[in-house]
Structure 1
Amino acid sequence: MSQIQLNNIVKKYGDGFPAVNDVSLDIADGEFMIFVGPSGCGKSTLLRMIVGLEDITSGDMMIDGKRVNDLAPRQRNLAMVFQNYALYPHLSVFENIAFPLRLDKKKHSDEEIRRKVNAASSMLELDDHLERKPGNLSGGQRQRVAMGRAIVRDADAFLFDEPLSNLDAKLRGQMRTEIARMQRRMGITTVYVTHDQTEAMTLGDRVAVLKKGVLQQCASPRELYEQPVNLFVAGFIGTPPMNFLPARVQGNTLSLPFVDVPIGSELAEQVRDRDLVVVGIRPEYFKDASLGDDAPRDAVRFRAPVDQTEWLGNEQYAYIPYETDAAVQAKLDELDRDLDGEGMRPQMVVNLDGRSRIREGEEADLYFDPRLMHVFDPESGHCYTRDEERAAEIGRQSEEDRRRALERARQREGGEGGNAREGRDAADREARGGSTQA
């Protein structure tokens, strides 16, 4: 396994445009790091610089403390899984997985190759397909073959470039589980690129959110969701996305389209020079007051006309249109473009309990806890309500969770205090009669 450090990494093309602009990250040994962002944000370029497929304009790329800027891809001992699988159609599944081992015939015997391929195929449930050709496999099976080829290399880290984008929704869900299980079982450092924030939130120990080549925030999924640093991160993370509502500042009150919300003196002081701010409220923070559930003491209650509803069994979406404020509409339109949106009309999305009987054309009686709302500067996107102490606590808890999961994986694979690599190396030495050759 490896620790990967990116120090002020910049990538400029011939026209001088910075596809990646001054990105610094420390990827811990055994960590599952996600690069996420809309199309053209630089995430795939950053991944390709790590593996050595793209030159670095400036900055230092470090692997285990060694600068690798000038090393060829094969010298970095990293295994990459591509979006299009990159399988050889004329070779069997067995030979596709074995291919990187056969490139160096002096290093791996036929028996060793067979053992490594069989171990990988067993992990990925490919034992029944080893003699088949890639063309006869499903998309999910082909992706597992590509993963098997990466596993047998005993690489220091795995790099995935949008590996699930060609699969249907059901297969994507299944493969997310497979990749997460494999990464935990092997305890190997993994960098994964995706434009799908659902993949990012479910897979990553930490998620690096990029916008136009600039790192916006790198944190655990929970911190990104609960404590975003700016408007862009808040809008990108979450399904359905966060509602952004214009709010007039009136002393210790924010006037939203449907209701006036009292705010504390500290927040009021931060926004006192602003006439207008953007308030962000996640859809699930709204509750149907007619259900009679206990509401927080400080809950803000209001009524609003419902334009459309969608009942999904365990939950219901209600769509509530509102008149936006021209002073912030341009900023919200710009944000929508940055998030690859389609510029739909202003409407608030409310995610209600499945018991709710609110229907389109009715006026809903709703409430929310004002402590859960976010307040943003409409010009800079800065989040006024981010709680740095809470964010640090979430980060600490997430790192503890990651270390516990990694330790469990190491104990399963290599025994108490060992790791997955040690377990595989021990098996290699036993197969070679006790030899210590790597």
Structure 2
Amino acid sequence: MAQITLNNLVKTYDDGFTAVKGISLDIADGEFMILVGPSGCGKSTLLRMIVGLEDITSGDLTIDGKRVNEIPPRDRNLSMVFQNYALYPHLTVYENIAFPLRLNRSKIDKEEIDRRVREASDMLDLREHLDRKPANLSGGQRQRVAMGRAIVRQADAFLFDEPLSNLDAKLRGQMRTQIAQLQRRLRTTAVYVTHDQTEAMTLGDRVAVLKKGTLQQVASPRELYEQPVNLFVAGFIGSPSMNFLPAKVQGDKLATPIGLLAVPDKVLKAAGSRDHVILGVRPEFFEDDDFVDDSVRAHGTTFEATPRHTEWLGNEQYAYIDYEPDPSTKQLMDELARDLDQDEMPSTVVVTIDSGSRMRGGKPGKFWLDTRLVHVFDTADGSNLTRDAEAGAELTALAEEERESEISAANG
């Protein structure tokens, strides 16, 4: 295992483009750290800097306190799992897994190589496939072979570069579970790059969100979800994405395109005297008013709207409510859309409602919104005006306690 520290890392290419802009990050010994963000945010470049495949323009990279900027990849004792598996097609599964050990033939004897290969193959349920060639394996099996090759090296850390992007949705779910369980069992430091926020939320002890080469927020998945630091993090984390509505204080309410919404005093105070703010509301904060329990009704507000369309998913439904965009916030929303790799920010509120609701597209309905959970963002810089940093830190601390408990259970 290893502690990896990034101190103000910068990567500037010969053409002057800076892909990584002064990122500092402490990755704890045995931690599963996720680097996430849209295409072009610098996450893969940062991973390649850690493993040594990209030179560091400035800043310091240390592993267990030792500066490794100029140390070649083969001497950093890190194992990397690539997106395309990087298997040798002419070698069997056994030979592919054993390959990095045979490069050190003088240091590792044949019996030890065999023991490590078979131990790794048992971990990954590959024992019966050891004599097969990669061409005869499924995508998930190939990825497990690539992971086996990383495991046998007994490296200080595993680095994953979007390893599941070539798999279908079902296999991705299965492999996520296997990777998480394996990392807990081995207690090896892991750095995992993905653009898929679902992978980030389900795998990471902490998640580092990047935008255009800069670090936006580092926290547990739950802190990112409940206490995002700005519009970008709030919009990137969560599926479906957080809804953003232009809003303005009007008396003791917020005037929005979907109506006047009664909100708690803390939300009004956060909005203050600003001409406009952005109201952030996740789809699951809504409900069909007919399905709201009386015990929680007082914690929210209601409004009437006509959804354009509804989607029934079995366990829940989505309703889509269109609204007129506000010219005063259009520039900010267009910029956010570009940052999130979208053509534009749709003027639509996505609402989650009970699967038993009879609301249908084109028919007016009454919705309830839990206003205890909404966020308010500054239109000037996108910062979250309602963020509770102390509450967020508690969520991340709790996640760390749970991680230690899971590791103990996995190795108990």
| 1-structure distance, mates of 2:68, 2:318 | 50
Gaps of 5+ in 2: none
Q: After superposition, what is the alpha-carbon deviation per residue over 1:243-273, rounded to whole angstroms, capped at 9, x for unaligned?
A: 0001023354321112223445555444334
Q: Residue 215 of structure 1 corresponds to which residue in structure 2?
A: 215
Q: Residue 196 of structure 1 corresponds to which residue in structure 2?
A: 196
Q: Residue 29 of structure 1 corresponds to which residue in structure 2?
A: 29
| 1-structure distance, mates of 2:244, 2:345 | 13
Q: Residue 434 of structure 1 corresponds to which residue in structure 2?
A: none
* Aligned residues between the structures: 411
Gaps of 5+ in 1: 413-438
Q: After superposition, what is the alpha-carbon deviation per residue over 1:190-216, rounded to whole angstroms, capped at 9, x for unaligned?
A: 000000000000000000000000000
Query: Could you tell me whether the CA contact under 8 Å between 1:251 and 1:268 is conserved in 2?
Result: no
Q: Residue 386 of structure 1 corresponds to which residue in structure 2?
A: 387
Larger deviation, residues 195-204 vs 343-352: 343-352
Give the CA deviation at 1:387: 0.8
Q: Structure 2 matches for 1:32-431, cutoff 5 A? A: 32-263=32-263, 267-294=267-294, 295-343=296-344, 345-409=346-410, 411-412=411-412
The percentage of counterpart residues that share the same residue type is: 65
Secondary structure in 2 aligned to 1:59?
strand
- Structure 1 residues 266, 222: CA separation in 2 closer, same or farther (over 3 Å shift)? closer
Query: Could you tell me whether the CA contact under 8 Å between 1:35 and 1:210 is conserved in 2?
Result: yes
Give the CA deviation at 1:344: 5.7
| 2-structure distance, mates of 1:231, 1:181 | 32
Give the CA deviation at 1:336: 1.1
TM-score, normalised with respect to structure 2 = 0.97
TM-score, normalised with respect to structure 1 = 0.91
Amino acid paired to 2:170:
K
Query: Could you tell me whether the CA contact under 8 Å between 2:334 and 2:345 is conserved in 1?
Result: no
Query: Could you tell me whether the CA contact under 8 Å between 2:261 and 2:303 is conserved in 1?
Result: no
| 2-structure distance, mates of 1:5, 1:353 | 45
Give the CA deviation at 1:396: 1.2
Give the CA deviation at 1:296: 3.3
Give the CA deviation at 1:241: 0.3
- Structure 1 residues 358, 198: CA separation in 2 closer, same or farther (over 3 Å shift)? same
| 1-structure distance, mates of 2:84, 2:292 | 52
Secondary structure in 2 aligned to 1:406?
helix
Larger deviation, residues 28-37 vs 269-278: 269-278
| 1-structure distance, mates of 2:93, 2:346 | 49
| 2-structure distance, mates of 1:176, 1:136 | 22
| 1-structure distance, mates of 2:100, 2:402 | 34
Secondary structure in 2 aligned to 1:371?
coil
Amino acid paired to 1:108:
I
- Structure 1 residues 42, 292: CA separation in 2 closer, same or farther (over 3 Å shift)? closer
Amino acid paired to 1:282:
R
Amino acid paired to 2:325:
T
| 2-structure distance, mates of 1:315, 1:250 | 33
